Amino acid sequence: MKVLVTGSTGLVGSALVSCLAGGGHNVTRMVRAKKIRGKDEVGWDPAAGVIDSAGLEGLDAVVHLAGESISSGRWTTEKKAKIRDSRVSGTRLLAETLSRLAKPPKVFVSASAIGYYGDRGAETLVEDSGPGTGFLAEVCRAWEAAAEPAARSGIRVVHPRIGVVLGRDGGALKMMLLPFKMGIGGKIGSGEQYMSWIALDELIGVIRHLLITDTLTGAVNAVAPRPVTNLEFTKSLGRVLSRPTVMPLPAFAATLALGEMAEELLLGSARVEPLRLLASGYKFRHPELEEALRHVLRK
């Protein structure tokens, strides 16, 4: 397949590019126009509304992962604008461009996130569950809606709603490793909030499945089938690292340090299940958290 990937230098994007290229696929990376260095790159500047549409002709698939990090620093007004605009404006520009191509791709996998569901406590959430409230829920609704021009043109559009990605070299797990290895890790707040997670290489497998499964359109929860509470996650990570987990982070301290970001990312609860993935025949390699952590951390 000829596949275009945006966000190709991020945790998920870099792993996806390596996997696709290693499997014999022809991968093109979409990068900022000023950073083009090779023939396998296509330029764009989503903030300026600029894109090399000619470089998108003849693709079989597009995987769109680009977006401002949501976990790097407090959510100031400026930061929140970057988070939203990088997703919504970039997705709309790409979707509109794909819809006008003479030879458009057959499938557009445009990322979303389980932030769509908001803070829902212990409620079991599947793809048909309604959206929640809060900043991330609003962003995810607009993010998914921005891909509509591609869907209206006949391109199969899929939105993997991605959970907490467990990767050794980036993301949430990397930030947790130092305090946990030092024996000062612990639950956050009450520890009762649910975490819906997925191992990095499992997520790559899910994206590959979305690319080739013609029956899947719309939202697909990209999470493992066994969500856990923060307390369960804490205990599992402690066992894998052979470290105690007796230093809790009180909710007020998390909020004081990180503000709104802590309330939504650390203290919010989303018990999400991958109903549509399972129904489509996807077989999880890492359905259980502790086994997944041992695999990711090579323990």
pLDDT value at 250 more than 80? yes
Q: What share of the chain has pLDDT > 90, as a percent?
A: 92
Q: What are phi and psi of 63, to 5 degrees?
A: -115, 115
Q: Give the confidence band of 298 by pLDDT, cuts at 50, 70, 90.
A: very high
Q: Give the confidence band of 257 by pLDDT, cuts at 50, 70, 90.
A: confident
Quick: pLDDT tens for 86-136: 999 999 999 999 999 999 999 999 999 999 999 999 999 999 999 999 999
Average pLDDT for 162-191: 94
Average pLDDT for 263-269: 95
Residue 1 near residue 26, CB atoms below 8 Å:
yes
Q: Give the confidence band of 69 by pLDDT, cuts at 50, 70, 90.
A: very high
Q: How far is CA 213 from the centre of its chain?
A: 19
Mind listing the domains of the chain with CATH numbers?
Answer: 2-167+196-223+272-285 (3.40.50.720)
Q: Rounded to whole angstroms, how far apart are CA atoms 98 and 95? A: 5
pLDDT value at 68 more than 90? yes
The mean of the pLDDT values for the chain is 95
* The residue count for the chain: 299
